[in-house]
Structure 1
């Protein structure tokens, strides 16, 4: 696949930039800085960057069909109103795990939210994958890991990709007709020295893209798990990619300064910034979150 050269599109300096999502109704990119507890909106038409402070660590943001936004935070899943900057709690999925926080999420074709949790200390095996719709929160039935990441779906919705970051493996899971999941199988394993798989997203050919934390780039895998290509980035900690632009052919990439010492930060002055490159295979439009009230 043809890929253009990487460019920096916005200076952010995020400690842990994450969760980019293209909001088609606005033609804008939303993303978060988890550790700085900040929510961002980037407008490519003006190069404008708007931000809001969140009341706790914020792992992801998704557009809702009612025109608002749903966010996942350490304290739970909440509604966000950009006009007022207000947050309102919907549900607290893990009140029994105060050391956990919510980390990454996506929607399926039905508008359900699939989201994961993780141990904020990145040591305990307490991260779980869940689904949320009008029936409430339900456990996805997969084994726990320390850091869940990158839930994403194949174009036909029949396969869920779920990342065990510390285990360095992306799993593929069959999705049943009723929305339950089958058994997980290893889809792609990241070799030693290549970083850790972070957030994932699927393009219109069914290929899986993953950020490589500590790996200086993003990778694209074929539906059968074969590695197709690697796109190098100018900083080590690459977190997640989202397809945006009018034709969904601009790949926006978030990055992080977290874990970099002063020497590394001096060598990587763009760490934590937002990058982009063009592709000739477009991404898939994001399904807005449907009704969550029962």
Structure 2
């Protein structure tokens, strides 16, 4: 896929040194951006207005903290879904997900336009075909797809008519039609092909204009794709492994990007000391306000 369009630079926002940063999620009610270090089982937060930061270990691999409509967070973790009180860090198990399979963990996740949670699982060693894609809708968990390897790029069009996802090793972003309740219809179809481009498609988010911002793992950039799948802008990072973007801030005009240190040699880390940090860019477009997760 050829490079053209606007170019932006991302700067370091928090030097979090995540082994595998993932799941940036804006919590408008608290003014905090949450993100996870999957491999170290740590939940991080940034108060965007003040710049204050914090976090705590949760005792399991962790990939998203979604704000609940009833208050608190729902954590997407290694053994399933758990409610979390962010003030105390105390967890309460909500439901198991593949708890009988020690080979898998959670990966990408995002709340859809109906306030339902889509999330994926994958093999801890990226075993081929070990992953699945799920939807939690009003407390009922449904497996949407299995046989995936590294499911990523879960995001949704502004009108709720489309979902996107990728199986990262394939290099192809898929688009899936949704019904009026947000359920997939038929089979997904190829939408954007990065199989011959540098990097691999990872996490993604959609802006208010219906364009998709996609992290390219290994290529040190996030690209903006038009609704037709055309590359129209690029955000360059000083680190090789961006994992997922999310819009945050009161105006949803800042794009925060998680990154990873996983798999980098000491020599590479010496050249990329900010790897694993949280980055931010001002791309000149606003994000969509994502609804809180509804469990009933």
- Fold conserved between structures, TM > 0.5: yes
Q: Distance in 2 between matches of 1:38 and 1:178?
A: 33
What residue in structure 1 maps to residue 252 of structure 2? 248
Aligned to 1:290: 294
- Over the aligned positions, Cα root-mean-square deviation in angstroms equals 1.5
Q: Is structure 2 residue 159 aligned with structure 1 residue 156?
A: yes
Q: CA shift at 1:143, angstroms?
A: 4.7
| 2:87 is the counterpart of 1:117 | no
Query: Which of 141, 146, 156 in structure 1 is aligned with 2:149?
Result: 146
Structure 1 match to 2:272: 268
Unmatched runs of 5 consecutive residues or more in structure 2: none
1:36-66 deviation per Cα after TM superposition (whole angstroms, max 9, x unaligned): 1100110122221111111210011111111
Whole-Å Cα distance in 2 between the matches of residues 208 and 88 of structure 1?
34
Q: 1:72 aligns with which of 54, 61, 76?
A: 76
Show the 5 A alignment for 1:93-108.
Answer: 93-108=97-112
Contact in 1 for aligned 2:118/2:134 (Cα 8 Å) = yes
1:224 aligns with 2:228: yes
State the alpha-carbon separation in 2 of the partners of residues 265 and 166 from structure 1.
24
Counterpart CA distance in 1 for 2:139 and 2:88 is 28
> Take 1:4 and 1:246, find their aligned partners in 2: how far apart are those partners?
21
Whole-angstrom distance in 2 between the partners of 1:285 and 1:214: 29
TM-score (normalised: structure 1): 0.95
Match for residue 20 of structure 2 among 16, 25, 29: 16
What are the residue-to-residue correspondences of 1:50-69 with 2, within 5 Å? 50-69=54-73
Q: C-alpha offsets along residues 79-135 of structure 1, whole Å, 9 cap, x if unaligned?
A: 111111111111112234321111111112221111111111112312111111234
Partner of 2:131: 127
In the TM superposition, what whole-angstrom CA distance separates every residue of 1:206-243 from its partner, at most 9, and x where no partner exists? 11111111111101111111111221100000001111
Number of aligned positions between the proteins: 291
Q: TM-score, normalised by structure 2?
A: 0.94
Query: Per-residue CA shift, 1:156-176, capped at 9, x if unaligned?
Result: 000000111111111100001
- For 2:110 and 2:48, the matched residues in 1 are separated by 22
1:248/1:285 contact within 8 Å kept: yes
Q: What is the alpha-carbon distance in structure 1 between the residues aligned to residue 277 and residue 139 of structure 2?
A: 38
